[in-house]
Structure 1
Amino acid sequence: MKLALVGASGVVGRKILQILEKKKITFEEFYPLGSTTVGEIITFHDIEYTIQDPSSFDASSTDVAILAAGSTAAKTYAHQYVNAGNYVIDLSSEYRYEDDVPLVIPEINGAELAELNEPSLISNPNCSTSQLLMVLDSIHQAFNIDILNIATYQAVSGTGKKAVQELQTQSNQTDSEINPEIYPKPIAFNVIPQCDVFLENDFTKEEMKLVWETNKILDPSISVQATCARVPVFNGHSEAVFFRVEQKTSKEEIIELLSQYKGVTVVDNPANLEYPTPREFANDTEDVYVGRIRVQEIKDETWVSMWIVADNVYGKGAALNAVQILEALVKLNKV
């Protein structure tokens, strides 16, 4: 297997390499690519590689490519690399909503990969969507979720290196010294109820991603409403989730389902103040953590509430899911 990684020196790219090393996944040939870091050296499996320019790279020399450099890179290289004979795993949102592009969380709809008969483009879901649906999948199969409401509390690492630096800088500045550049308002000691741009319906694009991707991956019949906020947390997205199920259930049944789901860990013991937080549970962690689980009967309807935390860069939100797609392609003998 021969791999090209676009964005190899970026925040997500480095996490992908870290996971590949942890899983002891090796390649016959490996090509790190990056538009702004050409000539830099990175180390992978104790071997030094020089980052090449993706615009001049011969994509016919590989059979799989991971794009971890945003929508512009995806728009430029995704189809070019597919046409050169690569299965392309794209972490951007550029092609997620195209009908002919599978949007994959392997645990949920990985079977779609088996239907690919030739090199194809595969999209990686949004970070907030991945951790959400990992928790909801088994519950939906058992009790049928029909209404879903989410409030996300998203770390600055989801925006990139410069956002992390902005939070660090602002945390040591006075109000008069703060000059926001990455976010529309100061992020230090603040909560900004805006992730991405506003759309015509007054929801942000990040909020609509949760709607579109939940419907595409889990079930198009689920009614979804979301509010996404950026919080002064370096890493790890949190979500307050509320949903209605059509069949009655209990907290005990929900915990039993989630405890059996690979990749999900329940941390729920209110008596001992045990629940997941990003500071404790989003440090290069792979699992999605869920706690504060409550089930209520409201006007003869069954509503479930919970709190979900995951590492949005290393974990299911980005790097891990991309690597798991790659692993699935290998098992299917696609690459």
Structure 2
Amino acid sequence: MTYLWIGIALVGVTASVVAIRSFRPAPLPAPEPWTGPLPGASPPGDMTIHQLPTGTYDSRAALAYRGGSFSDVRKFAATAVLVRHPAGDLLIDAGFGSDVDAHLATLPSFQRTPHHLGVTVRDQLRAGDYDLAGLRGVVITHAHWDHVSGLADLDVPIWMNEAEARYVERDKGAAVFRDVARGREIHRYTFDGPPYLGFPASHDVHGDGSVVLVEAGGHTDGSVVVFVTLPDGRRFAFIGDLTWQVEGVTLRAERPGPLRMLADVQPAKVRDGLLRIIALRDRVHVVPAHDVHAYDPIPHWVVSDRRVG
């Protein structure tokens, strides 16, 4: 028995050493930058995008990317993006909703980080006299609670692919989604288009290259990246949770090992997607969903010359 306990202790020490090392800086290999042509796009002249911040929650940089500091407490964004297009507007994610406290209470205690509720997407749109009839739906980058809480306040179609539909049926991480999506219309789309900027398949929402969804599973089964091209030529990549902070791209720093195992259904696939985005960093503006400052180039939804959110 003595040898058994010594063996157990050694395993525990080894696991602790491995875990500690997984938080140290270890940049991913630098991928070849994307030097090919950018896909064609013909966005209409009156197409615009706007950010609608709905709140933040607190987390530490060390938990977001390898090499981050445990003393660096950051505000993680819960922000939706409104894409206005004459063929029909879309929201990218829905942020916090009015029931966010109840949604947060469904999580395991270790995931209940301090949060700060701002103005919900619904209330921001109402304050701006927005006609919800013009909203084709909400494209979710994936079905985790902090991306879908606001769906409870929006009676519009939820855009989701088949792989994510399978994920929400089985995974405990989609419990909030199952609650807020009950009775809602689900708009299923397929990746019926060609490879796009290194990703294996795509879906062109309007057929003009202005909004293109690409398959980027790994964080959840059906996670996506949403590429948006504006009339002035600017390009954005809304990458969901391929990384939680922009350092995942600028420092080529993935999540620490324990967080990868906890957060991602296929960590290796997340790494592949992140490397594809890193290769594009000089060609598109990359927006990790929870990096507050990544949204800075995007104008806020404005009501009567007053910034909302």
- On whether the aligned pair clears a TM of 0.5, the verdict is no
TM-score of the superposition, structure 2-length normalised?
0.28
TM-score of the superposition, structure 1-length normalised?
0.26
